[in-house]
């Protein structure tokens, strides 16, 4: 950051620059763009809460790059002991096929790149038992909350977001296969009867009708699903209850309340920073998660974050890793923009370092509070 900016910030007595140094790491050769002026920023209310940390599997990695060519993905498992395992996967669709060109959005001055689990929401650590173990909570209660939320995530993904079709042909971004879409009216299109098989395993007449995996017909039907997925997300981003039956809707409301209670309003505190950034005229929130794209969209909707993250601002690093995702985002917004990475894992920290982006670590509830204070003071 420019020296003048740091000097200006250090004039605040109770929240000096040194207080934030433990959270905010600037690369040695990092050069920030000129920060927005105070009158361009929104204001928010401060938050005070009991601090605690949340750990997920990436934190066990070394300070170097994450091992393996592909990041971790969300997958189903019937055993409570491994209720939310993470496994490596490869996408079956041709690499780079159908990637749409996105014009630089040069009007933005700052883009905040957020991790999801254990940064904005508490989910993964409920399933693994990490939360219960570290903070002295009842393991059975925490696991039960996580399993119920996981069930809702997969039910929404399978029932409305085509996850059964798209699980094996995951994409990084919602527009990655848009160029294969011929624009056909889908109002009366029957997705159940078009013969599409995401795993490419269909045979006989059905397989011939669907087309060979990676072929023109197959890619077109794949693109139809992602277009419809985008429409559903955009229509229900502020009202996910409209996709659930009354019983599931009531269950979701109960789970949201109980998870917020046991996590000392973690999500509510994170939302203060997200909404403050959103209120600024020239700042953008972007989500980069190691969860596959479709379950990630289900998570965002069920945790009430749809209005904060438009679908075009959500990226899945399952296939290509966060470093490559960051590269794609820089190519979208341009190199004149200031990027700030916010997360709890080694993968996003390493990716930030590789791209000379400042990194704000989230390990405790207090880190979220300090982040909001730093945003209020225009330090970020």
The dihedral of CA 175, 181, 182, 185: what is its sign?
negative
Q: For the segment 272-322, what is each residue's pLDDT rounded down to a tens digit?
A: 999 999 999 899 999 999 999 999 999 999 999 999 999 999 999 999 999
The mean predicted confidence, pLDDT, of the chain is 78
For the chain, helix (H) and strand (E) counts, in that order, are: 14, 8
Tokens representing residue 15 in the block? 């929240």
pLDDT of residue 197: 86
Give residue for tokens 């559903």.
232
Q: What is the mean pLDDT of residues 248-275?
A: 96
Higher-pLDDT residue of 271 and 96 is: 271
176 annotated active-site: no
* Catalytic-role residue among 115, 165, 170, 180: 115
Tokens representing residue 204 in the block? 């006989």
Q: What is the domain partition of the chain in residue ranges?
A: 3-184+203-376
Residue 103 in this model has a pLDDT that exceeds 50: no
Residues at the binding site for Mg(2+) are 115, 117, 344
Determine the Cα–Cα distance for residues 24 and 48; give it in Å rounded to an integer: 19
Residue 202 in this model has a pLDDT that exceeds 50: no
Q: Cα 254 vs. chain centroid, distance in angstroms?
A: 23
> Radius of gyration over alpha carbons of the chain, in Å?
21
Tokens representing residue 164 in the block? 């059964």
Q: Which architecture does CATH list for 3-184+203-376?
A: 3-Layer(aba) Sandwich (3.40)
Which among 77-81, 104-108, 143-147 has the top mean pLDDT? Answer: 143-147
Q: For the segment 1-58, what is each residue's pLDDT rounded down to a tens digit?
A: 433 333 333 333 333 334 565 556 665 544 443 333 333 333 333 333 333 233 333 3
- pLDDT grade, residue 131 (50/70/90)? confident
Residues at the binding site are 115, 117, 344
Residue 262 in this model has a pLDDT that exceeds 50: yes
What CA–CA distances, in Å, run from 339 to 96, 250, 271, 285, 336?
25, 39, 19, 10, 9
pLDDT above 70 covers a percentage of the chain that reads 68
Q: Which residues neighbour 123 within 8 Å (Cβ) at sequence distance 6 or greater? A: 117, 146, 149, 150, 299, 303
Of the candidate ranges 34-38, 107-111, 244-248, 349-353, the one whose mean pLDDT is the lowest: 34-38
Q: What is the mean pLDDT of residues 184-205?
A: 79
Determine the Cα–Cα distance for residues 371 and 120; give it in Å rounded to an integer: 12
Determine the Cα–Cα distance for residues 274 and 266; give it in Å rounded to an integer: 13
Residue-wise DSSP of 236-249: HTT-GGGGS-HHHH
- pLDDT grade, residue 105 (50/70/90)? very low
Residue 366 in this model has a pLDDT that exceeds 90: yes
Residue 360 in this model has a pLDDT that exceeds 90: yes
Tokens representing residue 342 in the block? 């916010």
* Catalytic-role residue among 117, 176, 180, 367: 117
Residue 68 in this model has a pLDDT that exceeds 80: no
Residue-wise DSSP of 297-340: HHHHHHTT-TTTS-GGGEEE-TTTHHHHHHHHHHHHH-TTSEEE
Determine the Cα–Cα distance for residues 106 and 109; give it in Å rounded to an integer: 8
pLDDT of residue 135: 80
378 annotated active-site: no
Q: For the segment 211-232, what is each residue's pLDDT rounded down to a tens digit?
A: 667 789 999 999 999 999 999 9
CB distance 182 to 166 below 8 Å: no
Task: Give 106: exposed, middle or buried? Use CB within 10 Å, 0-12, 13-18, 19+.
Answer: exposed
């Amino acid at each position: 950051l420019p020296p003048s900016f740091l000097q200006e910030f250090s004039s605040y007595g109770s929240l000096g620059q040194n207080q934030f140094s433990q959270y905010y790491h600037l690369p040695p050769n990092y050069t920030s763009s000129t920060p927005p002026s105070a009158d361009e920023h929104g204001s928010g209310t401060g938050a005070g809460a009991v601090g605690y940390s949340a750990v997920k599997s990436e934190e066990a990695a070394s300070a170097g790059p994450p091992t393996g060519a592909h990041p971790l993905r969300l997958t189903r498992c019937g055993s409570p002991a491994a209720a939310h395992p993470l496994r490596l996967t490869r996408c079956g669709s041709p690499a780079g096929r159908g990637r749409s060109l996105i014009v630089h959005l040069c009007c933005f001055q700052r883009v905040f790149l957020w991790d999801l689990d254990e940064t904005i929401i508490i989910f993964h650590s409920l399933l693994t038992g990490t939360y219960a173990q570290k903070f002295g909570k009842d393991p059975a209660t925490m696991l039960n909350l996580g399993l119920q939320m996981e069930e809702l995530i997969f039910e929404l993904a399978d029932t409305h977001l085509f996850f059964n079709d798209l699980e094996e042909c995951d994409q990084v971004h919602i527009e990655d296969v848009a160029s294969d879409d011929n624009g056909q009216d889908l109002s009366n299109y029957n997705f159940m009867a078009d013969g599409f098989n995401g795993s490419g395993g269909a045979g006989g007449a059905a397989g011939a009708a669907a087309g060979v995996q990676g072929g023109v017909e197959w890619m077109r039907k794949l693109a139809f699903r992602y277009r419809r997925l985008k429409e559903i997300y955009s229509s229900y981003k502020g009202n996910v209850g409209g996709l659930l039956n009354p019983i599931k809707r009531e269950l979701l409301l109960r789970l949201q309340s109980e998870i917020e209670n046991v996590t000392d309003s973690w999500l509510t505190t994170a939302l203060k920073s997200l909404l403050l950034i959103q209120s600024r005229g020239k700042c953008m929130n972007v989500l980069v998660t190691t969860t596959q794209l479709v379950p990630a969209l289900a998570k965002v909707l069920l945790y009430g974050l749809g209005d904060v993250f438009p679908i075009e601002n959500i990226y899945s690093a399952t296939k290509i890793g966060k470093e490559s995702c960051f590269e794609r985002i820089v190519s979208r917004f341009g190199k004149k923009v200031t990027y700030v990475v916010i997360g709890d894992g080694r993968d996003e920290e390493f990716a930030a370092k590789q791209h000379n982006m400042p990194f704000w670590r989230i390990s405790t509830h207090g880190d979220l509070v300090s982040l909001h204070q730093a945003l209020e003071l225009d330090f970020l």
